[in-house]
Each structure stands twice: as C-alpha cells, then as structure tokens.
Amino acid sequence: MIIQHDITIALTKGRILKETLPLLASAGIEPQEDPDASRKLIVKSTVPRVSLVILRGSDVATYVRNGAADLGVAGKDVLLEAGGAEIYEALDLKIAPCKLMTAGPNESGGKCASTRRVRVATKFVNVARAHYAARGLHADLIKLYGSMELAPLMGLADEIVDIVDTGKTLAENGMAPRELIADISSRLIVNKASMRTRHRSVRAIVEALADAVTAKSSC
C-alpha cells in the first residue's frame, strides 16, 4: 500500500481493538509495537506514514470529528450518540456486533410503557431521548458512565438504555431486555476534510479494509 500523506487512524480500545487488529493486519496495516504492552499513545504502523492511536470510543469520534485523526474505528452506538456532520461513515466492519436496547427489572416488565413518564439511566442520553420521544413517553434521563444495570436495582431509574450482547449481565442482575433501539457493529469513519485533502491515501486504506471485510465474511 502506498500512502502519500501522514495518516492517523484512531482505534477504540478493548474488545473492538481485539477484533480490529486482525482486520487491519489483513489490510496490510500492523502496529509496530504491541498496543497492549506499549505505553506509547501513538504507535507507528508497518505502513510508512500511517500511525495508530488507541482511545475510548467516544474519544475516537471526537478526534475524527475535529480532524486530529483522519480515520477511526468506533461502535455504531458511539456514532449514534456523538457522531456529527464532519464524520463520514465509510464502512461497516461487521465486528463487535451487539444491540442497543432498553432494559428493566424482570418483575416490572411493561410497567413503564403504560405510565407516560419514565426514569432512564444511560450513557446514551441523546439516543435515549429520541427513542422515548418517538414513543410519546417523557424520559427523565440520568447520565451514568458505567454499570447502568445497577440503577434500577438501587431505585435510581425504571429502565436503562445499554449495549446488550449475550444478555448475561442483565440476567445476572434480575433484568431483561425490552425494546431494540439499534443493531450495532463497529464502523470505519473518516474525517470529511481528510477525505478531500488526503483523498488517495484515505481511499487506499478504506479499500484495503473493505477487501479485508469481504475476505473475512467469505471464509
């Protein structure tokens, strides 16, 4: 791959990173150092001029939105919550699939749908506001940064809006999923200005990753 510009790709740490690295490798882009072992925040890749930074998902969106990173990998949940017009969603990488759902305690299933007001704990406040408004419910939103499942147990909220994968976390806390808000997977995003000013380089990376996704899904 020939890259003519300095390009930075922001990756989401954690489980998304674990699934992103093999895709990047199949596109010919590998970190020169093990990101788990290295304390460096910016890691050079095996492709000259391409660097990788590893961040929290919402920070990936912020870096790409502001053009500090040219490309990024982030969950669709993050993009729904904090995307923006400056971000172009180039590719569904089809990794880290899960669902964004409402959920609540088993014993009060359906209760909230009949009252017109519901207390909702979530880190996805924008998505939750739109979801409940579309259903004609008034949601009192409580922003949390982790362990959303605790909020109904502690009487802080009636429902939560959160990521559900196997559903085990909910079940273990006496809760069940209720409504599907969106199917989620990780996306390759591009800063729109980078897309214009570094077009050839950005396109080469997007195409290499698109081929890697196709190759993986035909296995």
Chain residues that interact with ligand AMP, rule: CB under 6 A: 15, 75, 96, 98, 162-169
Structure tokens at 10: 């922001």
Nearest distance from C-beta of residue 164 to ligand AMP, angstroms:
5
Nearest distance from C-beta of residue 89 to ligand AMP, angstroms:
17
Nearest distance from C-beta of residue 76 to ligand AMP, angstroms:
10
Structure tokens at 183: 């199917």
Q: Where are the alpha helices (DSSP H) in 164-198?
A: 168-172, 192-197
Amino acid at 38: S
Residue found by looking up tokens 């304390």 in the block? 39
Nearest distance from C-beta of residue 47 to ligand AMP, angstroms:
27
Contact 187, 210 (CB under 8 A): no
Nearest distance from C-beta of residue 167 to ligand AMP, angstroms:
5
Cα 151 to Cα 101, 145, 173, 176: the distances in Å are 15, 11, 11, 14
Nearest distance from C-beta of residue 173 to ligand AMP, angstroms:
10
Contact 181, 139 (CB under 8 A): no
Query: 39 by DSSP, 3-state: which?
Result: coil
Burial of residue 15 (number of CB atoms within 10 Å: 0-12, 13-18, 19+): middle
The contacts of residue 90 (CB under 8 Å, 6+ apart) are 71, 187, 188, 189, 190, 206
Identify which of residues 99 and 192 has a Cβ nearer to ligand AMP in the complex: 99
Identify which of residues 15 and 129 has a Cβ nearer to ligand AMP in the complex: 15
